[in-house]
Chains A and B, each alone.
Chain A
Amino acid sequence: ILNVEQSPQSLHVQEGDSTNFTCSFPSSNFYALHWYRWETAKSPEALFVMTLNGDEKKKGRISATLNTKEGYSYLYIKGSQPEDSATYLCAFSNTGNQFYFGTGTSLTVIP
């Protein structure tokens, strides 16, 4: 079983604040790193698929970076809004077929 760690476990920010969280994964045999957004009572939805060292992806106010050599990815949210409240999951794959998920970062944006 591969170890994927996310930090912090939970985060409370004020509306308008920018925030970031970390996903750490094994630095060997990298295939892909996925980020998902998971709202309560819903199913996870994909944010980004990152495959190359140095990748930077952006979708609106959310962006992500990838460092495969040191085994980490950052997710950034600029100007957090209450609708950004969710759990953010990362999933590491070393083969493209097996995925190892972190336990997630729970974000609460306070209006």
Chain B
Amino acid sequence: EAQVTQNPRYLITVTGKKLTVTCSQNMNHEYMSWYRQDPGLGLRQIYYSMNVEVTDKGDVPEGYKVSRKEKRNFPLILESPSPNQTSLYFCASRVLGTYYEQYFGPGTRLTVT
């Protein structure tokens, strides 16, 4: 089944404790992206990647890191999480090109206390 997977789905952590949210897709998509969803705001793009070893900042990259060492994986790293990073996070992937939609993972609910 074609899908984007994220782990963990739910995470409660404390301020300053490094964490990684994994994202993997099995559709051979070049493009991958991370978004966060907060109440009253639209999905906001954190980082995106157009291919292996090619990453770029979205609108809200502060406090996040990403890497793209393999085509299928695009982990999101929070080196020192803070409470304002409490959010619902979505990973997405798509074929690179004009006409292609994004496929979203199931979401990761992160709470930083």
Contact = CB atoms under 8 A, between A and B. Distances in A.
Query: Is chain B found bound to chain A in the same assembly?
Result: yes
Interface of A: 1, 4, 31-32, 34, 36, 42-46, 49, 51, 89, 91, 96-104
Main secondary structure of the interface of A (DSSP, over half): loop
**B interface, by DSSP: helix, strand, loop or mixed?**
loop
B107 A99 contact: no
A99 B100 contact: no
A34 B35 CA distance: 15
Contacts of B102: 34, 36, 44, 46, 91, 99
A97 B56 contact: yes
21 contacts: A4-B42, A32-B98, A32-B99, A34-B101, A43-B104, A43-B106, A44-B43, A46-B103, A49-B98, A49-B99, A49-B100, A89-B42, A91-B102, A96-B97, A97-B31, A98-B45, A98-B58, A99-B45, A101-B43, A102-B42, A103-B42
B43 A91 contact: yes
B81 interface: no
B3 to A, nearest CB: 10
Contacts of B25: none
